[in-house]
Amino acid sequence: MLRKALMMVLGWTLPCLALAADKPQPPVEFVIVYPGGPDAGGEGKNLAEQLVQHLAGATGLDPAQFAGAYFNDNQQAVTYLKAHRDAFVLGGLGFYLPQRKSLGLQPLARLRGEGGSDERFAVVVKKGRYKALDELRGKTLWGSVLFDDARYVDRFAFAGKLQSAKAFDLHPTPRPLSAVRKLESEGADAVLLNRAQLEALKQLPLFQGLDIIHTSDPVPTVGLMFIPTARTKPVQDKILKSVLQLCGTPKGKSVCQGVGIAGFDIVSSESLAPVIKKYDAR
């Protein structure tokens, strides 16, 4: 009777095990996080798809094993990554620092812009209107940078000397150049720019009518990070190698240009220790 019972159990369980073994694994995710960036349903989706196609081709891995996702909102990206943990993330220091513990993120590469690897932030105003940050207290501050983590902005754009939400009337905008144009008509008091945005602005005649009243210290960057899992660890080295070469390839170049990147360099958690300490400080 025992043998009959075992056969009955095995007869039910073995087919179930076979079905489970045949069930395809969910894809490894490549997630682009670009706060205040292009719309997630149009240009953003295309960027994610291009990234997946390039990395699959560059690594020689099956494209069917991967999926791409794009978010221009940090919190939406966090929610997605908590449900899809087999993931590589293309994002910045402003995403890595606040989420590194809750998501278990590890940095792999840092961003390199046209002007170098470090980030800088600057506050620009209409020429002659304001001379220092203190004069902006209670005034409007615009910028796409303001979509990022507030603690990150306060600690690194303003050296931890103020809380931007209390010091200014904040206006996050995905169109910083439009905000800069508002300075002339005094529809805006000041605009917070990152390094790439400021360098681009300097090439325009519009810059001649502006003053830079604040510039941050250099800030290290992060570009590629991942959540170490049984699915991501085996392909980590191949993905890193292909990302380091990404911006130098015809297909990858359009992805890099879409998010304002010139290239990538290897980075480690140890090299980011000073900024982690600064971010975590009470």
For the chain, 282 residues long, give each residue's pLDDT as a single digit of tens: 333 332 333 333 333 433 344 556 788 999 999 998 877 777 788 888 888 887 888 888 888 888 999 999 999 999 999 999 999 999 999 999 999 999 999 999 998 877 778 999 999 999 999 999 999 999 999 999 999 999 999 999 999 999 999 999 999 999 999 999 999 999 999 999 999 899 999 999 999 999 999 999 999 999 899 999 999 999 999 999 988 988 888 877 877 877 677 888 999 888 899 999 999 998
Angle between helices 93-103 and 74-83 (to 10 degrees): 30
Count of CB atoms situated within 10 Å of the CB of 157: 28
Exposed / middle / buried, residue 94 (Cβ in 10 Å: 0-12, 13-18, 19+): buried
Q: What length does the chain have?
A: 282
> What is the reported pLDDT for 252?
76
pTM, full prediction: 0.85
Helix, strand, coil % over all residues of the chain, rounded to 5: 50, 20, 30
45, 75, 188, 260 from 37: Cα distances, Å: 12, 14, 21, 10
**Could you tell me the two tokens for 161?**
């000397």
Question: Which residues fall within 8 angstroms of residue 261, CB to CB, at 6 or more apart?
Answer: 111, 112, 113, 223, 247
